[in-house]
Chains A and B, each alone.
Chain A
Amino acid sequence: DGGITQSPKYLFRKEGQNVTLSCEQNLNHDAMYWYRQDPGQGLRLIYYSQIVNDFQKGDIAEGYSVSREKKESFPLTVTSAQKNPTAFYLCASSPRGRENNEQFFGPGTRLTVL
């Protein structure tokens, strides 16, 4: 079955620690995205990548970093510089960075900072 997987589903972190969220897709999609979701605020774009070895900042990139070494993988690191990291994180992909293509979403990772 093709799809997007995110792991882990739940993640707990102590303040001051970096943590990496995994996102893998086997849909052969070129473009991948990371969103942050907070109650009542919809989805906000953190980073996106339209091709391997290239990525762009979204609206709230501060305190986050990404890499795109493989087409299938787009991991997100939440650094200690992110002051309020507790949130639900969603990864998505699309066949290409074209505007009329649907974005397919993973099941999400809920990060809680203790």
Chain B
Amino acid sequence: AQSVTQLDSQVPVFEEAPVELRCNYSSSVSVYLFWYVQYPNQGLQLLLKYLSGSTLVKGINGFEAEFNKSQTSFHLRKPSVHISDTAEYFCAVFGQGAQKLVFGQGTRLTINP
């Protein structure tokens, strides 16, 4: 079975500052990793995904994430955030041979002017 831990439930940052949202996973098999964003009262939208290959993955809206197999992490980063990045962010994992996506509890990113 797989599990995902998002280490921060809330992250406040100032506009134009860098941000890192942390995600650790647990799995006994190879995994595929995803980051989703959810704006208030909306569904989830895919930011980026890691399937294989380069461990640095670039996504939409200037976000990127790095897969670190030895540390079982998939942290999300953005060098300079904007007010419009205020949202909840979910990390998710799909283990090879599994039948479902497992989500973390979410991190609420708040951007202060």
Bound complex: CA A92 to CA B44 (Å): 9
Number of residues on chain A facing chain B (CB within 8 A): 26
In contact, B94 and A99 (Cβ under 8 angstroms): yes
In contact, B41 and A56 (Cβ under 8 angstroms): no
Interface: B74 (CB within 8 A): no
Q: Which of A12-20, A61-69, A73-81, A103-111 contacts B (4 or more CB under 8 A)?
A: A103-111
Interface: A95 (CB within 8 A): no
In contact, A100 and B104 (Cβ under 8 angstroms): no
In contact, A58 and B43 (Cβ under 8 angstroms): no
Bound complex: CA A4 to CA B44 (Å): 12
Interface: A40 (CB within 8 A): yes
Query: Which B residues between 46 and 61 are near A, CB-CB below 8 angstroms?
Result: 46, 49, 51
Interface: A42 (CB within 8 A): yes
In contact, A48 and B44 (Cβ under 8 angstroms): no
Question: For B49, what are the chain A residues with a Cβ–Cβ distance below 8 Å?
Answer: 100, 102
Interface: A51 (CB within 8 A): no
Bound complex: CA A42 to CA B105 (Å): 4
Write the residues of chain B forming the contact surface with A, with a CB cutoff of 8 angstroms.
9, 32, 34, 36, 41-46, 49, 51, 90, 94-101, 103-106
- Report 7 cross-chain contacts, Cβ distance below 8 Å, ordered by A residue: A40-B9, A43-B90, A56-B99, A99-B32, A104-B46, A108-B41, A108-B43
Given A92-B44, A105-B45, 11 more A-B residue pairs with CB atoms under 8 Å apart are A41-B105, A42-B105, A45-B101, A58-B100, A99-B95, A100-B32, A100-B51, A102-B46, A105-B44, A106-B43, A108-B43
